Amino acid sequence: MAQAFIFDMDGVIIDSEPLHFEIDIHTMRHFGAEITKERLERYVGMTNPDMWTLIKDEHALAPPVAEIIEYQLSAKIRTLREQSYTPIEGIAELLGELKAQGIPCGLASSSPRAFIMEVLNKFEIADCFSVVVSGEEVARGKPAPDVFLEAARMLGADPGQCVVIEDSRNGVAAAKAAGMRCYGYVNVNSGNQDLSAADRIVHSIRDIRIEEL
């Protein structure tokens, strides 16, 4: 049995990648540039500072990265508050099963903490997670393993005894680099993601079986 279960958030707990794609495209237009959803798919799972540093260089954007992120994050939080969202199907049941089995849960997301907490509070599931770590709070974001290793440390768990669920190539790479077992969740709204490095690929959260952990 696993010592701990660590969730990614975007594309796993909330089907938020369409929101991210929409706002990121809008943000680019606001700053005088264009980008496609397909181009943005390569950055899924990365932190905002890492993503926007690369995009700023590639498109020669004038504003500093911090200004771009401030505009983008404000728009995302506003949209999240205004629109109706529910957890991805099967998440509530999985969290309940893990609690019943006494397996602590952590959340390790590349999103900024402000956005993470908006989502968890909107869904009223913040108390389901013993620890929450943002990729912006560690030295290196995904695909580096830092955010998962920090979550394991805070949970008091051996990384080799942790299970992760991820929906992105960068996230799966981070989990495997941390020495953790990883479910790759195929979320069609997360774009064309190569999850082949995951230990098991599932097309529904309901396909995850606690007894397999």
Residue pair 92/120 in contact by the 8 Å Cβ criterion: no
The torsion defined by the Cα of 148, 73, 19 and 94, in degrees rounded to 10, comes to: 30
Selection from 108, 86, 98 nearest residue 7 by Cα: 108
- Choosing from 8, 15, 146, 167, which is the catalytic residue? 8
Residue pair 166/143 in contact by the 8 Å Cβ criterion: no
Q: How far is CA 199 from CA 35, 95, 156, in A?
A: 33, 20, 23
24 is catalytic: no
8 is catalytic: yes
- Choosing from 10, 50, 146, 167, which is the catalytic residue? 10
Active site residue ranges: 8, 10
